Structure 1
Amino acid sequence: APTGPVRVCVLKFRNLSGDTSLTPLEWALSEAVVTDVGAQPGMRLIERGQLDLPLEEQDFTQGARVDPETRARLGRIVGAEVVVLGSFQQAGDMLRIAARFVHVETGEVLDTARVEGPASNSFAVQDALTAEVRALLPRLPERLRP
């Protein structure tokens, strides 16, 4: 079983609403989670920006069911044990953001975070997400390596 810091890769968040004015949130939300993961003791961030994985990223972020071989390959390529898959959508003035922490080898969802709030105050909703992420990160190592 792996030891040492949990190796985490955060992918770009997926815009489920189809509203292109929300496209900047795809990276903004990802970066917010990256900052939290990077600051957490016992975590090692695998920088997504240094990788060129268009095929694998598309498989993961499109919400498709990814076969175990593809997940394992992604894990080997990036050296990650956990991948963070996020999405967001807006309906009226409500913004909902969700993130899943997925074990690369098994596809098991280890933990989730979900927040919603007024889209007119997207920073507050983003802050709520990062607060949830910070709360769940300490549990991740024992869920990953029981």
Structure 2
Amino acid sequence: MNQSQSCQNKALFFGLCVPAIATSLIINSGITLQQANAQETQIQIAQQLKSPSATTEKARIAVLDFDFSSVSNPSYLSFLPGGSKGVSDILVNRLVKGGNFVVVERSQIDAILREQNLGDSGRVDASTAAQIGRILGVEAVIIGSVTQFDIQQRQSGGGFLGIGASTRDTDAYVKLNIRVVNTTTAEILLVAEGNGNNSQSDSQVSVFGIGGGAATSNEGRLLTLATEKAVDQVITELNTKSANLAALPKALPSVNAAVADVTGNTVILNKGKSDGYRVGMKLSIERVTKQVKDPTTGKVIRSITQPLGKIELVEVDATSSVGKITSGGKFKVGDIAKPVQ
């Protein structure tokens, strides 16, 4: 069988077997097959660049511990893994798994709270949350309240001629609301509410006082499942606004980096995405010329630095960044890199 027979309804074009209609279009338009393929590739690239996932940087957020002050029975908190921190832990885990946000680790938040003595007075308001967020270098902070966290039980049953039957129903109810705070303006950007409940029913039969069946105590598990359902409702609302949150002005990291390597025009820093560093960020490279110490404790209370130049980040991973020198020079390992834009 020759090539023209195998093509049948197709035509030979520059030695290739292509549909006859496509061949006609290419010939009539005055372009070659190679040009057509190149144009198709350019269209595909343009479509990828327009994709939000390719162009939109994820918002960096922090989740503070929830307020339980309005819960009727605080003793139920002991049933939840992590106690009063359990709800925020579940929310953080769900946000991380969802992949729509960059979530600050709890250890960083706890360190800031201890260092700044913030949040110790009780309920955190929008202004305090914004202050914490600016220190953490995030665009938004989530604060929340748990307004219901209860266990309710119902007992029913009866007996006849020495035979009795009873049923115990246990219900867990969780209700919470969150506020998303803009760290730049302290404005509340989003309010969302979640409701969750989970139930368990146990039956027991007794004959002349001798019982059979099962009656278990799973309050902790029921409360955890109810909390997860409430959190999932909140997550759904957050995900619908993820693009809006990602469009917020990027916050400058509060943590300075140190120069780890200098090779030619390339500078490598010891901080990365986990500290809020991102591609396109500009940093001032400075050298410590003097350290001022507290005369009573001997601790360094201020470092005097000399600006040497600036770099712009071109590559960032979780723990390091690569920058190109845009001005100045003669940098060396150990110099300080301060975010300026």
TM-score using structure 2 length: 0.36
Which of residues 81, 84, 87 in structure 1 aligns to 2:142?
84
1:99 & 1:131 partners in 2: Cα distance?
Answer: 12
Structure 1, unaligned runs of 5 or more: none
Report the CA distance between 1:124 and its aligned residue. Answer: 3.2
1:102 & 1:96 partners in 2: Cα distance?
Answer: 20
Structure-2 residue corresponding to 1:19: 74
Structure-2 residue corresponding to 1:35: 93
Helix, strand or coil at the partner of 1:102? strand
- 1:1-146 mapped onto 2 (5 Å cutoff): 4-16=57-69, 17=71, 19-22=74-77, 24-51=82-109, 52=111, 53-54=113-114, 55-58=117-120, 62-64=123-125, 66=127, 71=130, 73-90=131-148, 93=152, 94-118=173-197, 121-138=222-239, 139-143=241-245, 145=247
Answer with 6-15 or 90-99: which moved more: 90-99
Structure index of larger Rg? 2
1:116 & 1:99 partners in 2: Cα distance?
Answer: 12
Helix, strand or coil at the partner of 2:228? helix
Question: 2:243 is aligned with what amino acid?
Answer: P
Question: 1:11 is aligned with what amino acid?
Answer: L
% of aligned pairs identical? 21
Change over 3 Å in CA distance of 1:38–1:57 after alignment to 2:
farther
Structure 2, unaligned runs of 5 or more: 1-55, 153-172, 199-218, 249-341
Helix, strand or coil at the partner of 1:15? coil
User: Are the aligned partners of 2:174 and 2:230 in contact in 1 as well (CA < 8 Å)?
Assistant: no
Answer with 111-120 or 8-17: which moved more: 111-120
Answer with 130-139 or 87-96: which moved more: 87-96
TM-score using structure 1 length: 0.74
1:57 & 1:141 partners in 2: Cα distance?
Answer: 29
Report the CA distance between 1:123 and its aligned residue. Answer: 2.5
State how many pairs are aligned: 140
Change over 3 Å in CA distance of 1:91–1:9 after alignment to 2:
closer
User: Are the aligned partners of 1:115 and 1:125 in contact in 2 as well (CA < 8 Å)?
Assistant: no
Helix, strand or coil at the partner of 1:129? helix
1:50 & 1:89 partners in 2: Cα distance?
Answer: 27
Residue by residue, what CA displacement relative to the aligned partner does 1:79-125 show, whole Å, maximum 9, x if unpaired?
11111112213476443222222211122222233233458532232
- When the two chains are superposed, the root-mean-square deviation of aligned CA atoms in Å is 2.9
Higher helix share: 1
